[in-house]
Amino acid sequence: MNSRKFLALTLVATGLSAITLPALPPQDRFTLKAPNGVAFAEFRGYETWQDVAVSDTEGSVKAILGNPAMMKAYRAGIPANGKSFPEGAAIVKIEWAKKKSPVSPYFVEVPETLKSVSFIEKDSKRFPDTSGWGYAQFLYDAKAGTFKPFGTDASFNKNVCYSCHTKVKDKDYIFTEYLPR
Ligand code: HEC
């Protein structure tokens, strides 16, 4: 039994159950790393990056956001103009489980709980095996309020993430397009 549970039981047993336990310190997600060594901390500030686009699947909605270098490149016409995204460009995909809005008068699906955050960053010296892109994904446990890295071993990000992103090799390995707004 951990000390927190023990304290809770002791409080109940002694009739002090009305006393609330101090909250556990929140997880520091910025200490986490993907199996290839790409760290959550490398994407600090991603919550306020600009939106490139949104996407949805049967069960999820996603927001795709780019850092300033990525957005500047998109606005300059990359990758449609045949050029590659610059060093330091980074992009995040934030995925939520979706639900039918319980308050809207018309049918609309809205985010329900956070599922994962996925990152890609350009650093050609560091990621020569994956055409310059480093990949990382962190899964969110909504009940616990914690993230954990997705993937099994050092080759995971290359064999899984990059391998699928090679389908859009001619778009510098990035699926999401930036449309007029
Ligand atoms: C089976 C194919 C597949 C795999 C595997 C995959 N992706 Fe993607 N990824 C996509 C597609 C398709 C999109 C665009 C559609 C969307 O919004 O989900 C995308 C979009 C993204 C984006 C937004 C930028 C972009 O390229 O559009 C990020 C960031 C991303 N993926 C990261 C990852 C990471 C990290 C992994 C590995 C853990 C991964 N992906 C594995 C297919 C894949």
The pLDDT of residue 17 is above 90: no
The reported pTM is 0.89
Q: Name the residue with tokens 């899964």.
A: 139
**CB 135 near ligand 1, within 6 Å:** yes
Long-range interactions of 51-56: CB distance < 8 A, separation 24+? 52/91, 52/176, 52/177, 52/178, 53/176, 53/177, 53/178, 53/179, 55/176, 56/98, 56/109
| CATH code at 27-171 | 3.50.70.20
Q: When comparing pLDDT for 3 and 173, which is higher?
A: 173
The pLDDT of residue 169 is above 70: yes
**CB 120 near ligand 1, within 6 Å:** yes
- Residue 28 CA: distances (Å) to CA of 22, 74, 148: 18, 32, 11
Ligand 1 pocket test: which of 43, 56, 176, 177 has the largest number of ligand atoms within 8 Å of its C-beta?
Answer: 176
- The answer to whether 115 touches 105, Cβ cutoff 8 Å, is no
Tens of pLDDT, residues 137-155: 999 999 999 999 999 998 9
SS3 31: helix
The domain limits of the chain are 27-171
Ligand 1 pocket test: which of 40, 58, 164, 179 has the largest number of ligand atoms within 8 Å of its C-beta?
Answer: 164
**CB 70 near ligand 1, within 6 Å:** no
Tens of pLDDT, residues 90-109: 999 999 999 999 999 999 99
